[in-house]
Chain A
Amino acid sequence: MRIAAATLFVVLTLQAHAAEGDKTLVLPRALKAGEIAVIEVQVGSIARGQEIHVTTASGRELGVISPFGVRSGHEAGTYPIPIPADAVVGQQLTVHLSVTGNGAEPHAPTPLQIRSVKVVIGSSSAGQTDNREKK
């Protein structure tokens, strides 16, 4: 009971503090042992030197998307980022994306800079995957 209450509190806290650049994603089901969530970030057109910094809502590092080899003006493509299992609360995951670099303060991406973010479930045991996706 106490654990359930604590979990609910965490979820409510995350929602209450949802900030610009935060995206809450819902996994198709709860993770099983040996599985991890992977988010796929479709990056649009960003300037050379700009990166997409991905953290949890609380600021825990999840990865940095740093395009390489993209022609100027072209969209940057889709990048997978693995999510530690303990960053997922229940079936929910809130990630914070910010655009960094080029001398500007980190800021929330525009819809043209981040086209979409979705979450999938991957398994470390080959062949066991859940391909269902949620936008």
Chain B
Amino acid sequence: MNEPNLARRRWLMGCGATLLAAQMPFARSAPTTAKYRRYNVASVEGQKALKSYAAGVQAMMNLPATDPRNWFRNAFVHLMDCPHGNWWFYVWHRGYLGFVERTIRDLSGDKSFALPYWDWTQSPQIPDAMFDGVLTPTGSAFEKYTGNLAVFTSFAKQPLSDYWATLSAAQKAQLAARGYNQFDNLWNDVTGLDPKSGDGVSGNVAFATTCGSRYLSRDNPKLDPKTAYDVSPFVITSGLVLPTDFYNPQIYLSFTSSKTPSHNTAPSTTTKFSLLEALPHNKVHNAIGGVGAIDPGPYGNMVNFLSPVDPIFFLHHSNIDRLWDVWTRRQQHLGLPILPSGDDLKTFSNEAFLFFVDNGRYVTDGKAGDYTSTAVFDYDYEPGFGEALIDAPGGLMAKAAAASIQGLAKGNTGSLRADTSQIEQHLASPESRPLTVSLTVTRPQESSTAREFDVLLNAPPGVTQVSADSPYYAGTVAFFGPPMRGMAMLMDSTFVVPLPKRREAFATVQGAAKQEVNIRIVPSQGKDAHALTLKGLSLSTP
């Protein structure tokens, strides 16, 4: 599996040198120094990019709907052509984002513009600036286009129908594979009309009115707890380190979803979703659009295929694309393939993408293989969550899943601040992995007779000794054997102690988002009360 086979080599030799560099399963996915950098939206550079992004979105909205660069026309590229639930999901969206980025670079006047990304693992809430101006589809600038369905129809339908009339046979064949045999079929997905019954299906309406176009708001920007779990370090780490292949029939080993006859093949009973598409990609889309909260719809833009109307779409997908880049570089580090091989590579690469728009020019001769590398758009990413996994040694799951909070130590006492949610999670289930505290202590020398020390959690100041049934008792750490004065022993030792799941021990800290956690270490039998020094402590979460 790790070595390219002969058939693949022969096929590659028939390709140009540029294609070779981009498509070799083991090739680097990006140049070491790219011309453009996609920054984390939370960074200073990311915030600067947002300003150019807003200018570009505004400029695209100002264009007539006959112009393929128009913001809403651009969203229809997604509705007409986007793949989901198959192995072209990542590569198609890379092409889509790359061309939109070029358009915004041109229309915004910011020649260094690159799309910022929203790292929802690090920050599971919509960035605040995405509620400003044209960066929210609920903004007033959208009203003259999306105020209601009639307004949108009068604005968009005829130009789109005219565009439909210009499509080639190959384009129409792809649309037919998607179920769009005629223009009305496509428009039914905009309105939610079920042609069989003649009824409207509220959940299927891709159009969203201005006021209902995004469920999450400035006052309610956070991903709900379930969505936050789907973007959590554990889930994202799993999605990055479990897959060994770009495509594998065993879906948990596959970075991409099912291999299907075409990128227009919709998910079906045989579709297997890759972990990152299944959980973070899908759930973030639906959470922003209001699935669960405003059932049965109509939902906000992000729930259906006109999701690119919401500018958050491109920050979300930029992060998805970044995770593909992280996985690719991790595979390269491990000497594993980054793309399919043999006939699979040929099939994958030759899939025609016929609907992209390159700054106003229709790209009607594109193929999936054109977009497997970030080099085609000459960008890279500011490191975000997952970057540390690329060259991490063993124990990846445990290492990445655990977050660590450092504390301050003085004498035999230490303190740190933990999230209340972490403590509540710790207390909620007796079965779940507990919070643990790592204590680094200096072992007392010969002057001390104590070898065992009790760890006290949030004990009141006057408490210096506890029994095992005390709510403040977190355990006992013990040294084996006496200190050896003549040996060059490492006198610092670190112990990991699971914190007790007793609510009484946390009763002194309630209400705030952060809670103080105090640790004190005392001789177990009350001997040598000053003998042990706590040098450092940290709290690890499951």
Residues on A lying within 8 angstroms of B by beta carbon are: 10, 33-34, 36, 38, 40, 42, 44, 47-49, 51, 53, 56, 58-72, 74-82, 84-87, 100-103, 115, 120, 122-127, 129, 131
Contacts and interface: CB of A to CB of B under 8 A. Distances in A.
Interface in B379-437: 394-398, 401, 429, 431-433
Interface in B472-531: none
A101 B291 contact: yes
Given A77-B268, A101-B295, A126 B431 contact: no
B229 A64 contact: yes
A106 to B, nearest CB: 11
A63 B238 CA distance: 12
Given A40-B252, A51-B291, A68-B286, A77 B273 contact: yes
Interface string B46-89: 00000000000000000000000000000000000010110000
Contacts of A51: 286, 291-292
Interface centre among A44, A61, A115, A120 (most CB of B within 10 A): A61
Nearest to A40: B251
Nearest to B242: A122
Interface string B230-267: 10001100110110100000111100011000000011
Contacts of A40: 251-252, 272
B242 A68 contact: no
B227 interface: yes
B250 A120 contact: yes
B292 A65 contact: no
Contacts of A42: 269
Contacts of B272: 40, 77-80
Contacts of A33: 395
| 3 closest residue pairs by CB, A with B | A48-B203, A69-B84, A77-B271
A63 B236 CA distance: 12
Interface in B448-470: none
Given A65-B279, A69-B267, 7 more contacts: A40-B252, A51-B292, A64-B283, A70-B85, A77-B85, A126-B336, A129-B244
Contacts of B198: none
Contacts of B251: 40, 78, 80
A86 B282 contact: no
Nearest to B286: A66
Interface residues of B, number: 65
Interface string B209-239: 0000000000000000111011000110011
A103 B296 contact: yes
Contacts of A120: 250, 252
B370 to A, nearest CB: 23
Contacts of A127: 244, 336
Given A71-B179, A124-B241, A34 B396 contact: yes
Nearest to B82: A69
B194 interface: yes
A87 to B, nearest CB: 8
B283 A66 contact: yes
Interface centre among B235, B271, B283, B299 (most CB of A within 10 A): B271
Given A60-B432, A69-B82, A103 B267 contact: no
A58 to B, nearest CB: 6
B41 to A, nearest CB: 22
A130 to B, nearest CB: 10
Contacts of A70: 85, 266-267
A79 B273 contact: yes
B52 to A, nearest CB: 29
A56 B431 contact: yes
Contacts of A115: 269
A123 B398 CA distance: 12
5 contacts: A34-B398, A47-B203, A76-B267, A120-B252, A126-B241
B334 interface: yes
A51 B271 CA distance: 17
A72 B305 CA distance: 13
Nearest to A70: B267
A62 B179 CA distance: 35
A72 B201 contact: yes
A6 to B, nearest CB: 10
Contact of B542 (A59, A75, A77, A86): A86
B194 A67 contact: no
A72 B194 contact: yes
B278 interface: yes
Nearest to B434: A86
A107 to B, nearest CB: 14
Contacts of B244: 126-127, 129
Interface string B290-303: 01100111010001
B204 A48 contact: yes
B275 interface: yes
B285 interface: yes
Contacts of A129: 244, 250, 253
A64 B223 CA distance: 13
Contacts of B542: 84, 86
